Structure 1
């Protein structure tokens, strides 16, 4: 049985240790409600993640890379730790000691919502992911795989993202600095749940 614990600044290091010491070996994140197991992604997401990676790669700033490898990134100031589905990160982040990366090394994160994660990725976005990402990560993409649409959050600030835009899959969407290109979302509908 998975029990979640409320994170606080005081016990955040203990929660990180607990995430890595899980006896079942499953991946987990630290959200507002504590340690939450990460469910395996549906296989149909793989082509969408590959397509997104291919479209981002030519626009990635020098010294950064696009990854889908399951690493945990921490946001200690908000007591959160996330393992994004896809992310663009400063390559130097992987030279640091330890088992988790610094969230401030991320320049873009993307999450694909599934039935089990939609509430976490989307409904609670302001209290968890977007609130933490919105202070330091320039671009946050939420691919809503149930509704067939992409929401881009941009313009981070101390209060979170200042702007967002939602488009249906198949429509282009501008991706701001440090990328500065228009993302083609044609093909993303292949991962939409029936």
Structure 2
């Protein structure tokens, strides 16, 4: 099976083994994920997407040098590890992923980050499906940087596959990331990347 031109294959139910084989053999220009048993193709990020990731990386390094923010680290997510995701960013203790394979367990991850793309699938994927997958994996914080709305949405307190807390902040606000992350983001710079 090869990825189609569609971003989402609505009826394809893949086993984790079949997905991992497909992901290993796909071209480097394609990033695949398995969310809720469905094959997902992540859009190629644009320049602002990468710049926003670097902004966050600098903030994390400044406030928490004991942590690393990994770009597109493969994670086993969802109940019983039946999903595979590559968050735009994964915050974990330094050297946490050393010795791990392509798909690492979510245990020990403090935060996942997604920066939205301007595509039709963002609402379903980044705003709905991924929060459930990350919460089901007990990842304490999910940060969604939503470029369409100019907001940062902080999800926390995972419980029974959902985040109990969700707070939205506008670009320019001070954004507190709760424990175990314990960072307050200065988001003034993000106003430069608003459309």
Same fold (TM over 0.5): yes
CA deviations 1:123-150 (Å, max 9, x no partner) are: xx1xx21111113111111111011011
Runs of 4+ with deviation above 6 angstroms: none
Partner of 1:161, secondary structure, is strand
1:105 to 103, 108, 121: 108
Residue 184 of structure 1 corresponds to: 186
Corresponding residue number in structure 2 for 1:129: 130
Aligned to 1:87: 90
Q: Could you tell me how far apart the structure 2 residues matched to 1:112 and 1:180 are?
A: 20
- The TM-score with structure 2 as length reference comes to 0.83
Residue 23 (structure 1) shift? 5.4
In 1, Cα distance between equivalents of 2:113 and 2:58: 14
User: How many residues end up aligned between the 2 structures?
Assistant: 183
C-alpha contact (below 8 Å) 2:37/2:83 kept by paired residues = no
Structure 2 residue runs without a partner (length 5+): none
Question: Can you give the 5+ residue segments of structure 1 that lack an aligned partner in the other structure?
Answer: none
